[in-house]
């Protein structure tokens, strides 16, 4: 199960209360105060883990709680502080603050019959406050600070107050609602219409095993593969779900597709050069470029290249010159992902553009 958006509630641990106690031992009259301090509550920390590629764990546990600190005790015994709760999330997770909403509030749920709990739902991140972007491995963000432990009455002893009964309670830990959004991080992104052969190409270029079938929208979530090059160089390539017209308006997979290409350093537009699905590859390339521009003008200025796939089918030889004429100056690599023809020039091109030391 792939989850790339989730709403969670975080509650850090409360601090333990201080203790009001007096030393009582045989032959020790008027022993004085000996109440210890309470321990600190545990904080909640999100950590980017390269071994995690989805937010599915938080989908099943949307309420994240840390333990509270122990109360102080007599004989100057201090309460034990609670450990911090470390929550692993994928690299590329964005953290937004949500207004406090009760768990039973069906705010903006698409389906009124859906279980009204803070699970995956449609939210526009543009309306939210961005707190952090965990865009590198082992990056951390303090989501909720644990409470401080209270002071025992031993701290209130003075020459004028020999038997203080004062103590302080621990402070409550921070809590709130947060929205997490995953944006895949890859060096190159394969974009194109359904059935253009992106998944087949990813499988041919890397060790990834995406699902391949002869029907639209076989790929429902991004898949990332790693390409190894000579000289201990490598690059990551993402297979982005198929795009349709109106994706910038959230039609079809819409923003679920588009947000995952924002971080790609280069875009590879994969088109069916043979037009085997009854589509014109030139028009497909134009529409893809327009959808990217309408969603984010910065994407239209991102380095890109054309990958003319399915050259083993009839009609490809006539359409490739049309693509070159329509997009002069744009790198074009003709391949057949199914037959694994032309992959070596594509590998060299990707290495030259976005390859980096592994």
pLDDT of res. 162: 84
pLDDT of res. 278: 80
- Give me the tens of pLDDT residue by residue for the chain, a chain 358 residues long: 678 888 999 999 999 999 999 988 887 777 789 999 999 999 999 999 988 888 888 988 899 999 999 999 988 899 999 999 999 999 999 999 987 654 444 444 444 444 444 444 467 666 788 999 998 889 999 999 999 999 999 999 888 888 898 999 999 999 999 999 888 888 898 988 888 888 888 888 887 665 554 544 545 567 788 888 998 898 989 888 766 554 434 444 445 667 778 888 999 999 999 888 788 889 989 988 888 888 888 888 889 999 999 998 888 888 999 999 999 999 999 999 889 898 999 999 999 999 888 6
pLDDT of res. 113: 47
Half-sphere exposure of 162 (CA within 13 A, CB side): 4
Q: Cα torsion at 148, 149, 152, 158 (round to 10°)?
A: -20
pLDDT of res. 170: 93
CA distance 335 to 272: 10
Vertex 64: Cα angle to 257 and 66 (nearest 5): 145
Helical (H) or strand (E) element with 236: strand 233-239
pLDDT of res. 209: 63
pLDDT of res. 248: 39
pLDDT of res. 47: 96
pLDDT of res. 67: 96
Enumerate domains of the chain plus CATH numbers: 1-182 (2.70.210.12), 188-357 (3.40.50.300)
- Per DSSP, the residues of 194-213 read TTSSHHHHHHHHSS------
Vertex 123: Cα angle to 122 and 127 (nearest 5): 165
């Amino acid at each position: 199960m792939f989850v790339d958006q989730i709403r969670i509630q975080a509650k850090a641990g409360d601090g333990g209360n201080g203790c009001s106690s007096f030393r009582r031992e045989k032959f020790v009259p008027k022993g004085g105060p000996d109440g210890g301090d309470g321990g600190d509550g545990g904080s909640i920390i999100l950590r980017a883990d390269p071994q995690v590629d989805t937010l599915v764990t938080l989908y099943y546990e949307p309420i994240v709680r840390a333990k509270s600190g122990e109360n102080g005790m007599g004989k100057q015994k201090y309460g034990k502080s609670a450990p911090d709760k470390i929550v692993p999330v994928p690299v590329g997770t964005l953290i937004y603050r949500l207004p406090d909403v009760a768990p039973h509030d069906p705010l903006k749920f698409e389906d009124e019959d859906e279980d009204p709990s803070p699970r995956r739902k449609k939210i526009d991140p543009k309306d939210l406050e961005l707190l952090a972007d965990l865009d590198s491995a082992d990056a951390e963000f303090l989501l909720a600070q644990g409470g401080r432990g209270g002071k025992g009455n031993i701290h209130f002893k003075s020459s004028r107050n020999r038997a203080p009964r004062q103590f302080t309670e621990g402070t409550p830990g921070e809590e709130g609602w947060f929205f997490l959004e995953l944006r895949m991080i890859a060096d190159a992104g394969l974009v194109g219409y359904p059935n253009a052969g992106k998944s087949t190409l990813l499988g041919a270029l890397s060790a990834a095993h995406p699902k391949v079938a002869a029907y639209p929208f076989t790929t429902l979530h991004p898949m990332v593969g790693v390409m190894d090059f000579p000289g201990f160089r490598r690059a990551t390539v993402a297979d982005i779900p198929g795009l349709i017209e109106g994706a910038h308006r959230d039609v079809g997979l819409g923003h679920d597709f588009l947000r995952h290409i924002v971080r790609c350093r280069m875009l590879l537009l994969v088109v069916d050069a043979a037009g085997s699905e009854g589509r014109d590859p030139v028009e497909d390339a134009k529409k893809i470029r327009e959808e990217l521009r309408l969603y984010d003008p910065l994407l239209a200025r991102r380095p890109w290249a054309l990958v003319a796939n399915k050259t083993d089918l009839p009609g490809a030889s006539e359409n490739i010159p049309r693509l070159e004429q329509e997009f002069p100056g744009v790198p074009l690599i003709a391949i057949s992902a199914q037959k694994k023809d032309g992959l070596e020039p594509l590998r060299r091109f990707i290495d030259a553009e976005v390859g980096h030391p592994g």
